Amino acid sequence: MELEFAGEIVEWRGPAPFYFVPLSPDEADLIDEVKADVAYWGVIPVTVWLGATTFATAMFPREETYFLPLKDAVRRAESVGLGDVVEVRLTVGRD
């Protein structure tokens, strides 16, 4: 499954600040349809394209959607930060 969407970068504080792009309800519903086939340890593996940067990560359920983590290296490479709206393309599942 491949998804394309725009989302705002948000911060979620844990032991250290982390940055995420929450999926919209429509994208979250699509993930729910396939999560039984792709999830492991409660997370959804994805390959992500953000601008010119490609990376692998895992989304996790939170606040009735899924949060896509954005590592510092990705945010620096794409010059994006908290509050920015970014265009994301991702494929669901392991390569």
Q: What is the reported pTM?
A: 0.87
Which residues are 22's β-sheet partners? 67
Q: Each residue of 19-75: pLDDT tens digit?
A: 999 999 899 999 988 888 888 888 899 999 999 999 999 998 888 899 999 999 999
Burial class (CB in 10 A: 0-12, 13-18, 19+), 33: exposed
Q: How far is CA 39 from CA 9, 52, 74, in A?
A: 23, 27, 23
